[in-house]
Structure formats: C-alpha cells, structure tokens
Amino acid sequence: MAERSAATLDGTLGFELIEAGEELARGRFAVTDRVRQPMGIVHGGAYAAMAETLASATTYMHVAGDGNIAVGQSNQTNFLRPVAKGTVHAEARRRHRGRTSWVWEVDFTDDEGKLCAITRVTMAVRPAPES
C-alpha cells in the first residue's frame, strides 16, 4: 500500500495509504506546496480528499468480493488547527457498516499529535456495473 499512482489525485497530492483494515485505516501526506493554500497552510480540500481516499479504498476492499463498489456519498470536514509544515497523519475508524452504506470518522493530526481536522465520510455501497 505504497504511494498511489501519480496519475490520480492521491498521487498528485502525495497521499500514502499505510493501513486498510475493515474497521481502521491510516494514511498520511507531507505538507508541501501541492497541498497548501495561499496563506501557507494545508488546504481544506486536502483533508477532505484524504478522508474520502481512506474511506473509499478501505470500503471497496471489503465489499468488492460481494460484487459491489463503494462511492462517496457525503463528506463533511471541520478544521480545528492550521498546519504549515511537516506531515499530516490520518486515522479513519469505521462507525457503521450497513448493506448499502458505510460511515467513517477520520481524525487528522500533525507531527506533535495535535488534532487538526475531523471528517465524517459516508460511502454508498452499490452493485458493480456489468462490464
């Protein structure tokens, strides 16, 4: 689960998926100009994108065997503390696993372990389209 393909948003922003269990997922990204907004801090969209990456990849890994896909349905992020340097660490916990949706809560921390942002992501679970 190394860095994602450079051809994707994940790769462009330098996201790393570290762990993807059924109830817990972890990832991180370096704070570089790719993820900063004009004021020099991490852009809110980077948090939202990382949260959806963790929720999407992990949910999909666990529903694909049943012929399903997972797609983002809702993504709500609260920003608590600015981060201007270092690494942003993400830990996603599954809060609900239903037949048609999974809900994840993601905590983002800086290198000192301080909480920077929190996100709730709802994934829709649907039958995979026929090829």
Residue pair 53/17 in contact by the 8 Å Cβ criterion: yes
Residue 82's nearest CA partner among 15, 121, 31 is 31
Question: Which CATH entry fits the domain spanning 9-127: 3.10.129.10, 3.60.21.10, 3.40.50.1100, 3.40.228.10?
Answer: 3.10.129.10
Q: What are the residue numbers of the active site?
A: 52
Each of the 131 residues of the chain gets a pLDDT tens digit; together they read: 444 567 889 999 999 999 999 999 999 999 999 999 999 999 999 999 999 999 999 999 999 999 999 999 999 999 999 999 999 999 999 999 999 999 999 999 999 999 999 999 999 999 999 87
Q: Report the alpha-carbon distance of residue 122 to residue 43 in Å, rounded.
A: 21
| pTM recorded for the entire structure | 0.92
What distance, in Å, lies between the first and last C-alpha atoms of the chain?
Answer: 26
Q: Where are the domains of the chain?
A: 9-127
Amino acid identity, position 85: K
Laid out side by side, the sheet with 24-30 consists of: 16-20, 24-30, 87-97, 101-109, 115-127, 68-79
Q: Please give the radius of gyration of the chain, using alpha carbons only, rounded to the nearest integer.
A: 15
H or E element, residue 52: helix 44-63
